[in-house]
A and B are shown apart, each in its own frame.
Chain A
Amino acid sequence: MKKLLIALMTTAAALSLAATAEAADKLKACWVYTGPIGDFGYSYQHDQGRLEVEKALGDKVETAYLENVSEGPDADRAFERLARENCKIIFGTSFGFMDAEVKVAKKFPKVMFEHATGFKTGDNLGIYNARFYEGRYVLGQIAAKESKKGLAGYIVSFPIPEVVMGINSFILGAQSVNPDFKVKIVWVNSWFDPGKEADAAKALFDQGADIIVQHTDSTAALQVAEERKLHGFGQSSDMIKFAPNAQLTSLTDEWGPYYISRVQAALDGTWKPDNVWLGIKDGAVKLAPYTNMPDDVKAMAEATEKKIAGGWNPFTGPIAKQDGSPWLKDGEVADDGTLLGMNFYVKGIDDKLPQ
């Protein structure tokens, strides 16, 4: 069933590609998304980046994309098709595309490949990622200031390092303000299901949380916060329109500048496979305007943002693991490898991490 869907969509996308593949002197840049570009979340933000490339580089480039490509073996065909359709640089935007991209990159040595959030590289395959955890530390601090009950509800998708890192960073931020701050965690086992996210938000509010954080993609949880006259944070894109009185800020991804620089490098012939992990200082992780909070909280958040942009890492010791055993010594900073494989909670989280 799902395969059939992919096959149909790939075919449809191929047809639309064929229609745009005329101008041969332009550089063709292509994207592969795992979600629909209409999710107003993760894939939507990547597509905004693509549109920025079109805008910035004008008629020197043409772009194309495939959406709703499932992670895993089916992705091979998507990448191969794009490579055959004369795409010179191809961005795969989801973790699950990793092996497909490695395979296809070997087959097409002249095509430049880039993969987001993965860890395998090659002669013509670079990787890029964003340090979302930096922003989550700021969210934690705001939550601790704004929550009257000292309890936040956290809606999460899957127990992968990226998500665990986010929860840890959030609680570290919160405890830097209020050492007794607590967080209740609900796993909805989906990146995107507005109904489930709304239900999870209601459950968390019913159990006493008065602030909601999410690592899922829809605006549903914030809308519940708005209805209940409580607060929360947006995710991936600025969701203020959905919750004008509830959104404190939103953790947004800005891929545009990175994409422009890479496509420009491809145009100039200076492209080399890279391994970058962009953060607040690169403008890839942004916090939407701080709203619905007093000025002192806003000032604190801005100061923290500045501190992180200046190079300070939220995972700076002393930090203990959940069971109280030491993890980082005083002043010690977690290295990127540890963070990218993070599979444990830090102290102060009551939840049991699903394995």
Chain B
Amino acid sequence: MDITVNILLTIATAATPLLIAAIGELVVERSGVLNLGVEGMMIMGAVGGFGAGYLTGSPWIGLLAAIIVGALFSLLFAVMTLSLATNQVATGLSLTLLGLGLSGMIGTSFVGQPGVRLPNLDIPGISSIPVVGRLIFGQDPVFYISIALTAAVMWFLFRTRTGLTLRSIGDSHTSAHALGIKVIRYRYLAVVFGGACAGLAGGHLSLVYTPQWVENMSAGRGWIALALVVFASWRPWRVLAGAYIFGAVWIGQLHAQAFGIPVPSQFLSSLPYLATIVVLVLISRNKRLTMMNTPASLGQPFVPDR
């Protein structure tokens, strides 16, 4: 029983950063903007979070700093692509490159320093209940944030008027503009929200997952988050499913290896990617629905006529 609980906890830790970054990017893409800079914003959040936590000694300040740094960094992207109408793909890629390089430079003095860890939730008497206590009441705070965030984004996009407006901008910025909606303003807010989420995901890496700073520590998780959004066909609950399937198969294959199952490890290592793609393709195989979900003006620059 104990081992099952441990495995579930490990899966949640592995899935949380992917989920948060992907949910943020989902909102960005729903507004019609493609930001390929998730990896860069994530790593900036990781270094910012570690740095602030390390210097102040408070992991909470670290977490806050991670969010702010991610948001500020995404603002750079917003100014370039929204105000100056640069190519979104190229700008997003350079944001990733810049983030990886810049974070390494900022983090030079943090290398080899033990950081602070965000403590797990601990409610006296409840968190110690076997199984349920640890799974529901004993995880790290970011886990709860990630679940709440997913629910909030679902509600926002599909149950509020503002969410509807955001989606309409993503589908046709020209029509939205003609209706008098402030397209650029909405997109700015969406991009900054995405940046804050990516920053938070990075903060989870350097304050919870592996409390330390090393260059390139995001190790491609930003790209996985980006892929999750597409495979989940821009639906929040599918992003949640995708992140957890990825996490589950990933942790499962490590256990399979440790257990000594005679399957080549290279194959096992690729399983999480395969499994996530297969499952998400299956749940989104209805072509018409997928088309409906795809933001029609995704990636197209918008210059309002004056």
A-B complex is real: yes
**Residues in chain A within 8 A of chain B (CB atoms):** 1, 4-5, 8-9, 12, 35-36, 38-40, 44, 153, 184-190, 192-200, 202-204, 206-207, 209, 218-220, 223, 237, 241-242, 350-352, 354-355
A44 surroundings in chain B (CB, below 8 A): 111-112
A40 surroundings in chain B (CB, below 8 A): 111-112, 214
CA distance A210 to B67 in the complex (A): 36
Q: Which residue of A lies closest to B11 (CB)?
A: A199
CA distance A181 to B104 in the complex (A): 41
CA distance A204 to B255 in the complex (A): 7
Complex contact B104–A36 (CB within 8 A): yes
Complex contact A207–B210 (CB within 8 A): no
With A185-B257, A195-B209, A206-B255 already in contact, the answer to whether A241 and B265 are too (CB < 8 A) is no
Secondary structure of the B contact surface, majority rule: helix
Q: Which of B26-34, B190-198, B216-224, B293-301 contacts A (4 or more CB under 8 A)?
A: B216-224
Sort A-B residue pairs by CB-CB distance and give the 7 closest, nearest first: A36-B215, A187-B265, A38-B215, A203-B254, A194-B210, A193-B219, A220-B210
Q: Which residue of A lies closest to B261 (CB)?
A: A352
Complex contact B259–A207 (CB within 8 A): yes
Number of A-B contacts (CB under 8 A): 123
A203 surroundings in chain B (CB, below 8 A): 7, 10, 251, 254-255, 257-258
Q: B180 an interface residue at 8 Å Cβ cutoff?
A: no
Indicate the size class of the contact surface on chain B.
Answer: 35 or more
B93 surroundings in chain A (CB, below 8 A): 1, 4
Q: Which residue of B lies closest to A187 (CB)?
A: B265
Q: B175 an interface residue at 8 Å Cβ cutoff?
A: no
New contact pairs (4) apart from A8-B97, A195-B209, CB-CB < 8 Å: A36-B216, A184-B258, A185-B258, A203-B258
Complex contact B212–A186 (CB within 8 A): no
Q: B20 an interface residue at 8 Å Cβ cutoff?
A: no
Complex contact B258–A195 (CB within 8 A): no
Least CB distance from A16 to B in Å reads 12
Taking a contact as CB atoms closer than 8 A, the residue among A9, A194, A220, A237 that contacts B101 in the complex is A9
A200 surroundings in chain B (CB, below 8 A): 254, 258
Complex contact B112–A241 (CB within 8 A): yes
Complex contact B217–A194 (CB within 8 A): yes
Q: B211 an interface residue at 8 Å Cβ cutoff?
A: yes
Least CB distance from B286 to A in Å reads 32
Complex contact A186–B6 (CB within 8 A): no
A195 surroundings in chain B (CB, below 8 A): 14, 205, 209-210, 217, 219, 221
Complex contact B210–A204 (CB within 8 A): no
Q: B125 an interface residue at 8 Å Cβ cutoff?
A: no
Q: Mark B94-128, 1 if CB is under 8 A from A, else 0.
A: 00010011001001100111100000000000000
With A195-B219, A242-B212 already in contact, the answer to whether A237 and B112 are too (CB < 8 A) is yes
With A187-B257, A352-B262 already in contact, the answer to whether A38 and B212 are too (CB < 8 A) is no
Least CB distance from A334 to B in Å reads 26
Q: Could you list some 27 contacts between A and B, CB below 8 A?
A: A4-B93, A36-B215, A38-B107, A38-B108, A39-B216, A44-B112, A184-B260, A186-B257, A187-B266, A188-B254, A189-B265, A192-B216, A194-B205, A194-B212, A194-B214, A195-B14, A198-B209, A199-B251, A199-B254, A203-B258, A206-B3, A207-B258, A218-B210, A237-B112, A350-B260, A354-B265, A355-B264
